[in-house]
Structure 1
């Protein structure tokens, strides 16, 4: 739990009482490689922190799989749309490796945010960062060609390039595996 508390503390300082109350509502889950963390057509009612391992967030459309993000150690994720609108998720999250997650139930967490300004501050900053990351992802998909998207991925995520397969990387880049192979061959 140390890395989880450290992650939150980087965005908002927590006193011991807040830490204690937060740790009372969370649980740790181990998800085997290939297993689903959460699936579409159900409400996402948790925040997830990756203690160890790697997951991908994706959606399906017309038989194709589109990968939105990869989340690795020391990152937090959720389906913001589902958790905030109380609608069913459109996304699926799958473990790409054996993964240990800290699971934070959204509604008890929300109550703690009302009680402790430090947690509210953390959550506001987390939402801002998530929004900025998604805007950057959309901008990249709209403005960059496939080769530039691949170069950006290798530059920004060198520590996970070797941990994901080519199918997942091509799904993230929005190109076919054949196109990805051509781009990689040009290096």
Structure 2
């Protein structure tokens, strides 16, 4: 079950068989069912999850019970409430499964120990965090400077697999739109 995890890791830093075996001792496997929580708002996030199979989302819920999705994670992606994980503060996000999912988890203590003892793991972590930061910056720039049509077309181009597996109302939430607005955007795009 660690196949995709180590493919992802080796795409950023090359590991020997011994290094992979060593890292594997720090990992745990978890299966969660569709709609099952990995994390609930208010709990402290104790793991970073790598998706081997399935799909998850991270989101907050406002005072009017509206969901605001901040991240999707499909196979090959990681998901966590990183702020809570790093600080030990209560999570501000919920994370649940959109499909039955198989996850590779790394705990805070395991993560810290690997950072201290394995330079390749530290490099891998730095590259992942850098990539996540760049994606967040690109998303914020898009929200501020692109039309809804441009944002949707960019989303479809960047994440075609998400668009095929996630309901449109969730994509609308991720984009900061109402489902009705997204429907109009899709209609305008298809009529061009």
Say yes or no: TM over 0.5.
yes
1:40 aligns with 2:48: no
Q: Which residue of 1 aligns with 2:134?
A: 132
Q: Note the C-alpha offset of 1:36.
A: 1.0
Q: Note the C-alpha offset of 1:16.
A: 2.5
Q: 1:89-100, aligned counterparts within 5 Å?
A: 89-100=91-102
Give the TM-score, by structure 2 length.
0.92
> Of 87, 90, 107, which aligns to 2:89?
87
Q: Note the C-alpha offset of 1:67.
A: 0.7
How many Å separate the matches in 2 of 1:164 and 1:17?
Answer: 38
Q: Note the C-alpha offset of 1:73.
A: 0.5
Q: Which residue of 2 aligns with 1:5?
A: 6
Whether contact under 8 Å (2:50, 2:105) holds in the other structure is: yes
Q: Which residue of 2 aligns with 1:109?
A: 111
Deviates more, 1:79-88 or 1:93-102: 79-88
Q: 1:1-187, aligned counterparts within 5 Å?
A: 1-63=2-64, 64-186=66-188, 187=190
Q: Note the C-alpha offset of 1:148.
A: 1.3
1:54-83 Cα deviation digits (max 9, x unpaired)? 111111222221111111001112222111
RMSD over equivalenced CA pairs, Å: 1.2
Give the secondary-structure state (helix, strand or coil) at the position aligned to 1:127. Answer: helix
Ranges in structure 2 where 5+ consecutive residues have no aligned partner = none
Whether contact under 8 Å (1:48, 1:102) holds in the other structure is: yes
How many Å separate the matches in 1 of 2:142 and 2:60?
Answer: 18
How many Å separate the matches in 1 of 2:78 and 2:21?
Answer: 19
1:13-48 Cα deviation digits (max 9, x unpaired)? 222332112111211111111111111111112111
Ranges in structure 1 where 5+ consecutive residues have no aligned partner = none
Whether contact under 8 Å (1:22, 1:109) holds in the other structure is: no
Whether contact under 8 Å (2:80, 2:95) holds in the other structure is: no
1:96-124 Cα deviation digits (max 9, x unpaired)? 11111111112112102211111111111
